[in-house]
Amino acid sequence: MDKTWHSTILTLFPEMFPGPLEHSLAGKALKENKWSLQTIDIRDFAYDKHQTVDDTCAGGGAGMVLKADVVDKALTHACNQYVSENPAIIYLTPRGEPLRQPRVHSLMQDHPAGCILLCGRYEGVDDRVIEKWREEKGLIEISIGDYILSGGEIAALTLMDACVRLLPGVVNKQESLESESFELDLLEFPQYTKPQIWQGKVVPEILLSGDHKKIAVWRHDQAEKITQERRPDLWQAYLNKRPFDQR
């Protein structure tokens, strides 16, 4: 495998990729080979004549569970493609660590080779294979939020989009990455464009002043205000990072 950031998706629905990513900066970067994407169909690792990938829940209950042996073979196949590299191995699951921007940064820093993303379906994956890969290969479980999706594919697309934006040269202006929500532990300040007056609503005067210092101060104040109003959790974390006399 070359030095490009590479994502390998294990899924029962390979046709879902790159899907919406094609219509974004990530899609443009994919065409320019700034990163690469490969799908692996979990069903290819089924071994009976019906290509069975799932079975009933042990202990009873509705739904089906993806089989440990099938998923294990698919993960092994994916891993073998990275030779001596160290990709992040991630199972997308509502039971995982909630995804936040610092985790996206650490994935990109600690695993420059890329990531292997396992997408569950039905009631999820037999926990024994998750436990094995966590213990032996450091598999991480990640959730994209406290709600239940039908499958891990949309979660994988979300995570990939967030990761690819951090690759050099994908987002044109480094500055726009640095000012985005979460990057400075705050939500972003409000953005406006032309015309100056729309339906009686006016772009704040200061943004038209050309005084970059004052604009920066205004934006920072707005970011603080919005974070305090909308996300008390982020606001508290932000305050905790400040020197004691500035809280």
Closest CB to ligand SAM among residues 83, 148 = 148
Q: Among 191, 213, 223, which residue's Cα sits nearest to residue 204?
A: 191
Residue 88 makes contact with ligand SAM by CB under 6 A:
no
Q: Tell me which of 42, 92, 108, 164 binds ligand SAM, using CB under 6 A.
A: 92
Residue 68 makes contact with ligand SAM by CB under 6 A:
no
Residue 148 makes contact with ligand SAM by CB under 6 A:
yes
* Concatenated DSSP letters of 168-193: TTTSS-HHHHHTSTTTTSSPPPP---
Residue 95 makes contact with ligand SAM by CB under 6 A:
yes
Closest CB to ligand SAM among residues 150, 191 = 150
Structure tokens of 122?
């039905």
Q: Among 78, 86, 76, which residue's Cα sits nearest to residue 113?
A: 86
Minimum distance, C-beta of residue 80 to ligand SAM, in the bound complex (Å): 22
Please check whether residue 221 is in contact with residue 188, taking contact to mean a CB–CB distance below 8 angstroms. Answer: no
Minimum distance, C-beta of residue 128 to ligand SAM, in the bound complex (Å): 15
Provide the phi-psi class of 128: left if phi over 0, else alpha when psi is between -120 and 50, else beta: alpha
Please check whether residue 162 is in contact with residue 214, taking contact to mean a CB–CB distance below 8 angstroms. Answer: no
d(CA 202, CA 197): 5
d(CA 159, CA 209): 38
d(CA 70, CA 129): 9
Which residue has the closest beta carbon to ligand SAM?
A: 120
Residue 152 makes contact with ligand SAM by CB under 6 A:
yes
Task: Give the binding-site size for ligand SAM (rule: CB under 6 A).
Answer: 19
Task: Please identify, among the stretches 116-124, 170-178, 214-222, 230-238, the one whose residues bind ligand SAM according to the rule CB under 6 A.
Answer: 116-124
Q: Among 94, 102, 96, which residue's Cα sits nearest to residue 146?
A: 94
Residue 11 makes contact with ligand SAM by CB under 6 A:
no
Minimum distance, C-beta of residue 127 to ligand SAM, in the bound complex (Å): 11
**Per CB under 6 A, which of residues 119..138 are in contact with ligand SAM?**
119-121, 123-124
Task: Please identify, among the stretches 16-24, 89-97, 106-114, 205-213, the one whose residues bind ligand SAM according to the rule CB under 6 A.
Answer: 89-97
Which chain residues interact with ligand SAM by CB under 6 A?
A: 92-95, 119-121, 123-124, 143-145, 147-152, 155
